Amino acid sequence: IQDQHDEIITHVNVARKSYDYVFTTGGIGPTHDDITTDAVAAAFGVDVERNVEAEAILQNYYTETRLNEARLKMADLPVGAELIANPVSAAPGFKLDNVFVLAGVPKIMQGMLGYVIEQIAAGDEIISHSIACDLKESEIADGLGTVQARFEDVDIGSYQNFKDGILSVSIVLRG
């Protein structure tokens, strides 16, 4: 979604009521356009304040001359937020209820995910299998429909490919 305050609030509120877990990435840095923290706090109806623990982490990481007000902005978190450790560049993400707010830089976000994974309850195992064949979707459509109706607990999708002048299809089964 776009970095617009009201849009973030709307999407976070819809998603957190509809899904077990919601993940956001980006918008928690030190610049004026990093508005995700404020928007997520607004979605939950809480204030943003300087988090003492997050501030201590930043003070520990940065030398006194490198820790400025812009960087300290990354310690301003929604009231009641739980910190998400950042093993790459220190500035923490946070969690409010079922919403996990992570950094946008891929390497930093991946580092944070290592801590988040431990907080997520695993669901049922999903097995996926793909079958590639030199047929056209129109040739297998009726048969796939029949098989799908018989095995409603398996998701069956067909995906047309066109490579090197050859039309083919991949059938993917998940359940």
Instruction: Please list the helix, strand and coil fractions of the chain in percent, rounded to the nearest 5, in that order.
Output: 40, 25, 35
SS3 category, 48:
strand
Rounded Cα distance between 75 and 71, Å, is: 8
Q: Which residues does residue 129 pair with via DSSP β-bridges, in sequence order?
A: 173
Q: What local confidence, expressed as pLDDT, does residue 100 receive?
A: 98
Q: What local confidence, expressed as pLDDT, does residue 124 receive?
A: 87
Q: Indicate the burial class of 113 (C-beta count within 10 angstroms; 0-12, 13-18, 19 or more).
A: middle
Residue ranges for the chain with pLDDT beneath 50: none
The model's pTM: 0.76
> pLDDT digit string (tens) for 10-42?
999 999 999 999 999 999 999 999 999 999 999
> pLDDT digit string (tens) for 108-117?
999 999 999 9
